[in-house]
Structure 1
Amino acid sequence: MSKLFKQVDVFTSEKFKGNPVAVFFNGETLSTEEMQAIANWTNLSETTFVLPATVPEADYQLRIFTTGRELPFAGHPTIGSCHAVLEAGLVRPRNGQVTQQCGAGLVQLLVDESSGNIKFKLPYYKHTTIDDEPLIEEVAESLGMQRDGIKSIVLVEDGPHWLTLELSSAQDVLNVTPNYGQIDKLSNNGFIGYSLFGQYPDGSYEARNLFIENSLGVEDPVCGSGAGADASLLAELYGFQGDLVIKQGRKLRRDGHISVTVEEQSNNDNRYSIYVGGNAITCVDGKW
């Protein structure tokens, strides 16, 4: 019996300009080993598998794989998979909300059916201060830049562990020339890669996410968890609240746009609630 498959472009309204995710339905028919083999075959940054929820609060369960490992949570696969299950008619928003079950717990998604925008609430974030100056110097060197171009740096766990760097400007982000060999060695310090961002004069941000996968250097076209990490730095370091726009993918000839909202809260382990969103569009609709 054939099962549904969709390949969805995320953080864009135009096909082939965002970050693709492969979404396989009926994931309960597969073993973990089979899921990993399929994710390796698709060769995308992430591949997801939709399964029935095992808790009553969730609408569906999602498992997320890179080509080499399973992730508890990731941003663009969450939005792309939500788009896919809505388009397939498997779930309907309740009061504009959908709840995803994944390795990081329950993830709340806000769905604007008129615009197609889908936002997820970052399940959590944890910050670890980075004050090792020799390490920071090495990080700057691995990016082909001077130490004084790094305004702030913190290790953020929000599913993945991102070494999150605020650079002096958006242009500085675009000018980065990564040395992936050095990044590979430095990632032994407890992070999967770098989340870089810097501000344009108009107040929006440019971002890049650089990491190692299967011993190869990779740049993520548009990264939701990275945007969440970036926003958490702005919130915790500067007390930022409100809306911001993150652009990503320029170095890869993509045109990703991420909308982020930061709100202060008082009933959670984190001081701020962070919502990361964007549009998605199906590029491939088929069966497997």
Structure 2
Amino acid sequence: MKQLEIYHIDAFTDVSFGGNPAGVIPEAGSLTTEEMQKIAGELNLPESVFLLPPSRPDADYRVRYFTPTEEINFCGHATVALSWLLAEKYGYLEKGDRVALETNVGLVPVEWIIENNRLARVSMTQLPPRTQEIDISIERVAELVGIHPGDVDDRYPIRLGSTGNWHLFVPVRTRSAIDSATPQLKELGRMNKELQVSTTHLFTFDMHGEFDLYTRDFAPAIGIAEDPVTGAANGALAGYLYLEGILPEMEQTRLKVGQGHAIGRPGTLYITVTPQETAPRIEVAGSAVITIEGLITIR
């Protein structure tokens, strides 16, 4: 019989029951892959993250991420949740101001941001962004995500983008169109599997000052109808905006992104895009709240 500490942590929010919930298992070294997947299925949260000893010398820990149905290479909100837990419960603020996490796609550095002598946010540096063109019509995309073709914002290209996981980005003219989207989840999931993308990510600049961007994310291909607030997808979105020339090429850009409001789990992400010689640095930051802590028993 095994008993392990387990946490339910809401990420990209500073209030309970907002943002995106993640399961966090901080001492998972004794677990098999099958056990990790079963725990993620039992928790039935968008993603669960498992902390393991590192396999490379430049990492403090290895992490693995699971949806209720499969392992994925990277998850932003679960990384924020885990890093918040390390600081708040495991004394890492006394050991330093950052930690290096080994993921399936590479090393992800995480920094703790302190304001007024308390932990304010966790900031992770994602992998260098990439984009790919995609041959798909506006009409087909609109049909799959459940909006009118006229709601697709043709000022910006429909593209695939990644900072670890691949996503399909769909520009939308208004926040109201995003909020009213009713995707064909089965068909969308099938297309995402064909494209080998994790999620379809809708975004708009139609915010009138509340945020810089507003987004919504559908992930039926990996067992999640809608992911409330997505660190990986929004980080990749920032990379897409830079690589497509929508953000300034030679100056740092800070973005405040809202997501989750359409499904009653509002969250906020703070993204910094810093131009560099080879590729921009994408940093995604947010706060978190530990809502449940306890033990899980495996017999």
Given the two structures, how large is their TM-score scaled by the length of structure 1? 0.91
Distance 1:166 1:95, change over 3 A: farther
State how far apart, in whole Å, the 2-side matches of 1:61 and 1:133 are.
37
Pairing partner for 1:179 from 184, 207, 211: 184
Q: Unaligned stretches of 5+ in structure 2? A: none
Distance 1:119 1:217, change over 3 A: closer
Distance 1:231 1:94, change over 3 A: farther
Match of 2:267 in 1: 256
Match of 2:280 in 1: 272
State how far apart, in whole Å, the 2-side matches of 1:179 and 1:15 are.
30
Match of 2:129 in 1: 125
**Alpha carbons 1:15, 1:281 under 8 Å: kept:** yes
State how far apart, in whole Å, the 1-side matches of 2:3 and 2:184 are.
44
Match of 2:153 in 1: 150
Pairing partner for 1:222 from 229, 234, 256: 229
Aligned residues: 282
Q: Deviations over 1:143-181 (max 9, x none)?
A: 233334233211012222210122123232223221213
Residue 287 (structure 1) shift: 2.3
Match of 1:201 in 2: 208
- 14-23 or 82-91: which moved more? 82-91
State how far apart, in whole Å, the 1-side matches of 2:66 and 2:72 are.
6
State how far apart, in whole Å, the 2-side matches of 1:95 and 1:217 are.
35
Q: Unaligned stretches of 5+ in structure 1? A: none
State how far apart, in whole Å, the 2-side matches of 1:75 and 1:228 are.
8
Are 2:163 and 1:161 equivalent residues in the alignment? no
State how far apart, in whole Å, the 2-side matches of 1:123 and 1:30 are.
27
State how far apart, in whole Å, the 2-side matches of 1:52 and 1:93 are.
20
Match of 1:79 in 2: 80
State how far apart, in whole Å, the 1-side matches of 2:221 and 2:197 are.
12
Identity rate of aligned residues, in percent? 28
Are 2:20 and 1:16 equivalent residues in the alignment? no
Match of 2:39 in 1: 38
* Aligned Cα root-mean-square deviation (Å): 2.0
- 238-247 or 43-52: which moved more? 238-247
State how far apart, in whole Å, the 2-side matches of 1:35 and 1:170 are.
37
